[in-house]
């Protein structure tokens, strides 16, 4: 996801889909940013319109009828950690290039639940989606793209009537982080951040509330408060090249390709190569499994931990 991909608007409208048989489960009410959504029974046709919700659905044994592709190279719509669970299913894919949700296309899938917890869905879009099917979006007061895996799994699990299974997935993810942190006590209390180069020589640095920042804090690192302050309520801070020395004293910097600017020529970056953190080599580049780190959900976490933690351990400042 590029930093520019931060708004989702209505591309077309369609009348409400006909009610589907949702099974015999009890009625459940899920609170979110725009109020409460009532889900009756067990949804049969779930449309995943955010960038990572499909992972949680698949982990719960629910195969979505629609998936929003995050990375263009993932032709099936999901990352390699999720491919085995998707199997031979071929859900309709919202392409990564789409900046708007096509309401008509979503309605055509006749979903009986729409999940958009990891998406910038405004009230107008929510209202239109809710005319199609019960819709859940980010938790109340959460920033766009700043939803924890625990919050997301809990909400989705409740919606699909798999609350206990969702809690088990959260507990397993928590345990995986705890194990990794326990194996690397040297991480505890050290400062670290995840960032990506921007055009013009700056960096996008993710906040402590963003899933990438949360990945580090769950390992014991501290994401400096100055990043959150600079972000001004967004999930990332745009740091100009002239201000990039703010990362000089960080103990670790994980660098990914998620801001629309390739890091292939990072060694030639006119500013980064002059920084103390670069000279000390307290950074990971290229970051292994960076896509899984960006997802940071109950399904991608084990995949990311296995591949990235060893690289962090080799480069973190002693």
Q: What is the pLDDT of residues 267-300, one digit of tens each?
A: 778 888 899 999 999 999 989 999 999 999 999 9
> Any idea what the CATH number is for the domain that residue 36 is in?
3.40.50.1980
Domain membership flag for residue 199:
yes
Range of the domain at 129: 28-161
Rounded Cα–Cα distance for residues 42 and 28 (Å):
10
Both 81 and 205 in a single domain?
A: no
- Domain-terminating residue out of 132, 161, 190: 161
Of the chain, the end-to-end C-alpha distance in Å amounts to: 32
Binning pLDDT at 50, 70 and 90, where does residue 7 land? Answer: very low
In 3D space, the residue among 230, 233, 169 whose CA is nearest the CA of residue 204 turns out to be 230
pLDDT at 12 over 50: no
pLDDT tens by residue, 158-207: 999 999 999 999 999 999 999 999 999 999 999 999 999 888 888 999 99
Both 108 and 215 in a single domain?
A: no
Domain membership flag for residue 145:
yes
pTM for this prediction: 0.90
Domain membership flag for residue 243:
yes
Both 146 and 89 in a single domain?
A: yes
Under 8 Å CB-to-CB from 177, ≥6 apart: which residues? 218, 219, 301, 305
- Domain-terminating residue out of 112, 130, 161: 161
Domain membership flag for residue 64:
yes
Domain membership flag for residue 75:
yes
pLDDT at 264: 52
At residue 291, φ and ψ (nearest 5 deg) are -65, -40
- Domain-terminating residue out of 111, 132, 161: 161
pLDDT at 82 over 60: yes
Domain count, the chain: 2
Our CA angle for 235, 238, 282, nearest 5°, is 90
Burial class of residue 2 in the structure, from the number of CB atoms within 10 Å of its CB (0-12 exposed, 13-18 middle, 19+ buried): middle
Both 150 and 278 in a single domain?
A: no
Domain membership flag for residue 11:
no
Rounded Cα–Cα distance for residues 251 and 313 (Å):
11
Both 87 and 211 in a single domain?
A: no
pLDDT at 198: 87
Domain membership flag for residue 166:
no
Both 182 and 151 in a single domain?
A: no
Both 183 and 152 in a single domain?
A: no
Domain membership flag for residue 48:
yes
Least confident of 1-15, 21-35, 39-53: 1-15
pLDDT tens by residue, 240-268: 999 999 999 999 999 998 876 665 567 77
């Amino acid at each position: 996801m590029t930093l520019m991909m931060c708004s989702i608007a209505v591309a077309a409208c369609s009348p409400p889909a006909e009610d589907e048989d949702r099974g015999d489960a009890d009625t459940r009410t899920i609170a979110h940013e725009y109020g409460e959504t009532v889900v009756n029974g067990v949804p049969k046709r779930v449309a995943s319109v955010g960038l990572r919700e499909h992972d949680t659905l698949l982990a719960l044994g629910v195969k979505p009828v629609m998936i929003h592709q995050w990375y263009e190279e993932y032709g099936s719509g999901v990352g390699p950690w999720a491919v085995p669970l998707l199997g031979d299913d071929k859900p309709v894919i919202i392409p990564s290039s789409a900046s708007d949700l096509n309401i008509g296309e979503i309605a055509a899938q006749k979903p009986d639940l729409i999940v958009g917890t990891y998406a910038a869905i405004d009230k107008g879009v929510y209202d239109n989606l809710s005319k199609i099917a019960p819709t859940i979006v980010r938790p109340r007061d959460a920033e766009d793209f700043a939803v924890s895996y625990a919050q997301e799994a809990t909400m989705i699990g409740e919606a699909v009537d798999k609350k206990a299974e969702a809690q088990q997935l959260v507990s397993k993810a928590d345990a995986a982080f705890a194990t990794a942190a326990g194996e690397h006590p040297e991480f505890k209390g050290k400062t670290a951040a995840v960032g990506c180069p921007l055009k013009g020589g700056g960096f996008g640095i993710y906040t402590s509330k963003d899933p990438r920042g949360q990945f580090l804090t769950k390992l014991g690192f501290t994401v400096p408060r100055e990043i959150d302050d600079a972000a001004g309520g967004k999930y990332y801070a745009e740091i100009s090249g002239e201000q990039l020395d703010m990362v000089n004293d960080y103990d670790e910097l994980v660098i990914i390709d998620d801001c629309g600017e390739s890091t292939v020529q990072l060694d030639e970056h006119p500013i980064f190569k002059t920084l103390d953190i670069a000279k000390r080599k307290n950074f990971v580049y290229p970051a292994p499994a960076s896509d899984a780190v960006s997802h940071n959900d109950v399904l991608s976490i084990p995949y990311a931990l296995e591949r990235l933690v060893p690289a962090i351990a080799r480069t973190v400042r002693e």
